[in-house]
Amino acid sequence: MADTRDPKRKTGDGVTRRGFLGTVGAGAAAVATGVARRAEAIPEITDPDEMMQVALSINGRLHRLLVEPRWTLLFVLRERLGITGTKAGCERGECGSCTVLIDGQARYACMTLAMEAEGTEITTVEGLLDGEQLGPVQQAFVSQDALQCGYCTSGQIVAAESLLRSNPSPTADDIRLGMSGNLCRCGAYAHIENAVSEAAELKKGERS
Average pLDDT, rounded, for the chain: 87
What confidence score (pLDDT) does residue 31 get? 47
Predicted structure pTM score: 0.77
pLDDT tens readout for residues 6-64: 544 544 455 555 554 455 455 555 545 554 555 455 556 667 678 999 999 999 999 99
What is the DSSP secondary-structure string of the chain? ---TT-TT-B-TTS-BHHHHHHHHHHHHHHHHHHHHHHHHHSPPPPPTT--EEEEEEETTEEEEEEE-TT-BHHHIIIIIS--TTSPPSSSSSSS-TTEEEETTEEEEGGGSBGGGGTTSEEE-GGGG-BTTBPPHHHHHHHHTT--SS-TTHHHHHHHHHHHHHH-SS--HHHHHHHTTTS--TT--HHHHHHHHHHHHHHHHHHH-
Q: How many CB atoms lie within 10 A of CB 89?
A: 21
CATH code that applies to domain 45-127: 3.10.20.30
Q: Please give the backbone phi and psi of residue 203, each rounded to the nearest 5 degrees, phi first.
A: -65, -40
Residue 159 has pLDDT above 70, yes or no: yes
CATH code that applies to domain 129-208: 1.10.150.120
Residue boundaries of the structural domains of the chain? 15-44, 45-127, 129-208
Strands 99-102 and 105-108: antiparallel
Residue-wise over 11-22: b if at least 16 C-beta within 10 A, else e? eeeeeeeeeeee
Q: The sheet that has 99-102: what strands, in order across it?
A: 61-67, 52-58, 121-123, 99-102, 105-108
What confidence score (pLDDT) does residue 21 get? 47
Average pLDDT over residues 112-129: 98
